[in-house]
């Protein structure tokens, strides 16, 4: 019993670590490369100027790191692995977008708020559209949804919405970055996830 439980958690932590390393490689690598490019365009639109800067929302922005770990606790092993593979492709697509269409980061006067400064540091400088903060939050929320107890669904939905809102209210992203992140999330769950799931089913059938 104990060895089974240990094996279960080794698997889950392994999936989480592998995805985290892949994300760090793509996100950090593209940010590093873009640092050497100049004359970058901006996706800022007039409506972005109407969005207030609310440093207190940085706590929701940072809470995404906890939110992203929830599938490790909630989802069955097979579904977790399928989601991780699909979102790894999602991260790769975002990375390609960052390299092909590098953008000027949002500009703001950073407030003297330690939580905001930590969030700003974690966000790095570039990698704006599509927003992976938004794409992964929406993807993890929708991926977990069928496995959540009814009582927890409103909590997860509100938490996800607060994280997405925080990308705008901390001025880490523009409106079009958020829209791009939502499009990527829908593509990941409606196209990539079924493709990966069918591939897993195919392999499982031939392995029997």
The per-residue pLDDT for range 168-180, each reduced to its tens digit, is 999 999 999 999 9
The per-residue pLDDT for range 113-141, each reduced to its tens digit, is 788 888 877 887 888 899 999 999 999 99
Both tokens assigned to 185: 């999330």
Q: How many CB atoms lie within 10 A of CB 48?
A: 17
Q: What is the C-alpha separation between 170 and 133, in angstroms, rounded?
A: 13
Q: What is the C-alpha separation between 185 and 189, in angstroms, rounded?
A: 6
| DSSP 3-state of 115 | helix
The per-residue pLDDT for range 43-75, each reduced to its tens digit, is 889 999 899 999 999 999 999 999 999 999 999
pLDDT value of position 175: 95
pLDDT value of position 207: 44
Q: What is the largest distance, in Å, between two alpha-carbon atoms of the chain?
A: 60
* This prediction's pTM: 0.90
């Amino acid at each position: 019993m104990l060895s089974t439980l240990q094996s279960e958690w080794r698997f889950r932590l392994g999936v989480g670590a592998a995805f985290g390393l892949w994300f760090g490689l793509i996100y950090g690598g593209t940010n590093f490369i873009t640092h050497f490019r100049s004359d970058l365009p901006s996706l800022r639109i007039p409506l972005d100027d109407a969005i207030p800067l609310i440093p207190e929302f940085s706590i929701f922005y940072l809470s995404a790191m906890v939110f992203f770990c929830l599938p490790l606790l909630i989802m069955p092993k097979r579904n977790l692995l399928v989601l991780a593979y699909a979102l790894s492709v999602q991260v790769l697509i975002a990375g390609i977008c960052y390299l092909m269409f590098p953008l000027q980061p949002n500009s703001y006067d950073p407030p003297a708020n330690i939580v905001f400064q930590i969030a700003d540091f974690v966000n790095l400088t570039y990698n704006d559209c599509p927003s992976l903060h938004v794409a992964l939050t929406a993807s993890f929320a929708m991926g977990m949804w069928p496995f959540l107890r009814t009582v927890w669904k409103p909590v997860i939905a509100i938490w996800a919405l607060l994280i997405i809102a925080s990308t705008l209210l901390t001025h880490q992203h523009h409106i079009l970055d958020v829209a791009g992140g939502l499009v990527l999330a829908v593509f990941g769950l409606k196209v990539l996830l079924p493709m990966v799931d069918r591939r897993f089913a195919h392999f499982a059938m031939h392995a029997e």
